[in-house]
Chain A
Amino acid sequence: MIRPPRLLAAILLGVTVLSAQAQELSIGLSTPVTTMDPHFHNLTPNNSIAKHIFETLVHQDEQQALKPGLAESWRAVDSTTWEIKLRKNVRWHDGTPFTAEDVLSTLKRIPNVPNSPASFAIYMRPIVDAKAADPHTVILKTREAHPLLPNDLATIHIIPKKAEAMSTPDFNSGKAVIGTGPYKFAEYVSGDRVVLTVNDKYWGPKPAFAKVRFRMITNSAARVAALLAGDVQMIEAVPTADIENLRKDKRVSLASVVSNRIIYLHLDSGREKNSPFVTDAAGKPMEANPLRDARVRKAISKLIDRNAIASRIMEGEAKPAGQFLPETFHGTSRKLTPDKYDPEGAKKLLAEAGYPNGFGLTLHTPNNRYVNDEKISQAVAQFLTRGGIPTKVEAMPSAVFFSRGSKLEFSFLLAGWGAGTGENSSPLRSLVSTFDPKLGNGAANRGRFSDAGVDALVQTALTTIDDTKRGIMLAAATEKAVGELMGVIPVHYEVSTWGVRKGLAYKARVDQYTLAHEVKTSK
């Protein structure tokens, strides 16, 4: 019985590994990275890592504005033909030069990755033909006019020609992970870490750190603890509960930005009657579906105190929303503002619509998908209940929620939408366009909102190359779909926050990517 205490002491007092050799950066990630294949699973954590090793033709800055990447320039020759000039003197990590052939190989591989659970083929669907005009020029043909081609290209990571035939396991083992990016692959341990080393021959600005270690710390409180303990120098997705305290903490600083993700409420505006979770005020089943009436939807919107949710539930980590995307994004409306908290106005609207005594609802919500999702729902239910619409909350893990939601089993649900392309057409097309598998519209329209005017505006905008004209159409569609008809009720935009140890600085990104090569030392 003498040994254990001594061993214990040895463990407790053993030499602490120096947390940061000036050369190494440790980052705590919030979601696991599941593969090293940049084309296998289209998921934020995977894409985030891929962006260190591989590059896209078009880059996006921290505000998702497009800027030259592996392509120096791009232009629409005519409405369906694009000419893309590639950067010269770029080399792959193994030393071979980067050419148009690599781009063509990438485009060939993407739709053909076996077993891919979420492929990048959605971004390539408009492309019908790809050719190399010379080693540094690629010509792309689209089926019809497709103004968002550069945005789509910003999601596609270019791999070398020789990797075209490589399998996903080849990438996971590191064998095929050869890119042009600022970092080179060093190690990947599933569920644990990814280690990268700097690419000295990178064509762009040199990263500040020679080595980066990404650690997957999915539990938020543990991630914050790791930052406070100095085990990592940077974390993503700082939980709202800790913001206030961290702001006061001298050891760390925070970087935040209003993200491209909106939290919204979807209402069953499809069913004429017998919506599954609508009852009368006393809780008995009701035949009529009040949610079909735009006035009722507007009333619900007016009952929600968005400022209270943003300040109390989100602790300031949210910005009240009046449309799909913050105004800085292309195609948003300048006119729409968040609906004011107005119980009186709501009462009037409800009476006008024929529901002076209100009715009952159940709000379904995921509880592990968005920041504080279940709590926001509770707060919404709180406001509606007080405003004369007694509302229950039913929370469930997203594994259950999205299946049931897509089967239209709910009447009233909370969800979120991040505009991956960085343009307003993305939510307009998926959330409020009429559900139409042929056109690929309304895929996430779980309330089956439908308005011919909105559809027409969105469809025309999607094929209008002129950015200004397209922007005007998208804004008009938003004003109709959200401002006038309340196809969805916007609640707020999430704020994304990163925490770094003092001495480091990060420019917060609206697309929520955590990019080590953008981390600077602030001394």
Chain B
Amino acid sequence: MISTDAKFTSPNDIAAFARQLRNKSKAIPKVVRVCIGTGCAAKDSRKLYELFQEAARKSSRDVRVETKNVGCHGFCERGPIVVIDPGEIFYQQVEEPDVAEIFRETILGGRILERLLFEDPLTGKKATKAAEIPFYNVQKRVVLSANGLIDPTQITDYLAAGGYSALAKVISSMSPEQVIEQVEESHLRGRGGGGFPTGRKWRSCREASGNGKYIICNGDEGDPGAFMDRSIMEGNPHSVIEGMIIGAYAVGAEQGYIYVRNEYPLAVRHLTGAIAQTRKRGLLGKNILGSNFSFDIRINRGGGAFVCGESSALIASLEGKPGEPRAKYVHMVESGLHGKPTVLNNVETWTNVPKIINNGGKWFADIGTEKSKGTKVFSLVGKVVNTGLVEVPMGISLRRIVEEIGGGVKDDKKFKAVQTGGPSGGCIPAEHLDARVDFDELTKLGSMMGSGGMIVMDEDTCMVQVARYFTEFLQKESCGKCTPCREGLAQMLHILTRITKGEGQADDLDKLKALAELLEGTALCALGKTAANPILSTIRYFQAEYEAHIQQRRCPAKECKGLFRYKIDEEACKACGICLKNCPVDAIVGEKKVPHKIIQEKCTLCGTCWDKCPFSAVLKV
């Protein structure tokens, strides 16, 4: 028997302890899992957890019930989510008053509460288990497999689920060279956006001369609309740590850093707790698992600068400097942090490592397309029915993600585009929805894989506004070091703003293209080089929309204020007088029982009537 908080002194201890844990958990017949990821926690899921705990404590019946708080299940749209074992019964949108009933009926009585199950909006069929819900059954969960199952604050949960067995395998039976060979064979490519082969990066670092090498985990997930890495760090922090320890062993590093965004307090908390537990267990620190390999990890919180997701800027930040990138003619793997050889990988990349070691590089390489292997986690958001975190095998079509997993576009609107790759990505239109998720294919379409944000846009979204939004974002986040990015983005933003105000000039598109080309060719870092993607991809696929703004002073999506008019639908108008009273310039006329009218000459297009009308009788035309 290994005592519950003992330090492991040999690789064999891990498997023995995991067996012990599993036998113990068999004795507990009922488990309640409450999601406490940021999405569910915002809907007060912590309170649910406490109520379940209280109910379990108070229960007089002779049943042992374990309550766990777990990481994100991914189906954030339907939170808070509660899963009950045995049976993997999946309850969604659970509220405080439901707790007593769930406890009495399902946990003690073994009966299912129909009203809390997910109902398929198309077929009306109820799903008892997650696997029966279309959102889940198209997915392939490798990286996220333990998310939602284990309590991220307990190392024992991770160990019971097979955690640190890859590390034990590496230390007991593999040389650093063999580890790198497995990673190379897997063809794993960096999940942070660059898509650089991980194995090649590790090998270069291992072969680089000099000691005091570093390992860095990039958790500075700055892309708006992306939360893959947050959910992994929050829901399964040990998987990141295990990947990093294996990486350190392979390249010969003694110190690691995890750089986490300042906006992710829960991730920082879970990682900090996980590192402390790992040290106590002898999995981090001196002589890991009784071997002569030593490694430790430190957490750094970001300062709120998007550019720090770029590797050389991140390293500047870790050195206590402003996060300005440098030209990369000298590679990180030769001279990175403090001038030492450094391997920097993204959160999701690190999480894949233990899986590859356990299952073999070939297993990983069997998933996906020719040049993009394994799975990829996406945060599927925007105007889509099922918002959430999804993991799919590489090579799946965008259509299946949007339509089958995402359930299509919200409110029966028409699909317009899906934006991938973060702010420097691009918008992919309906005619390319059958494109496959693959590093190279997405690049060919003028977008990119990026870190995995996937934002669905409907017919009401103006693509010029989208380009303007991303350009404004990048202009604000440009560090200002190189001129093309600092000045070029400001100019492009100026032109785009002009177009959305209806003041576009005939040669604006040519100017935008010329600036974009310049930026791509001359900017210092990846942020600048790719900054024109949102503009170029929207011009490429939605040129007519730009032209409507410039030539006809009209916004086809009716989003740009001033480039469309308001009109009252006489049939829908109930003559209630609300618009009339609220109009700031008295541009609406009408009497009781007579449909109201907007006097177009007086109207300032402020949109107040549209906001206020309770019958949606004000139309944008």
Chain B associates with chain A: no
- A-side residues, CB < 8 A to B, are none
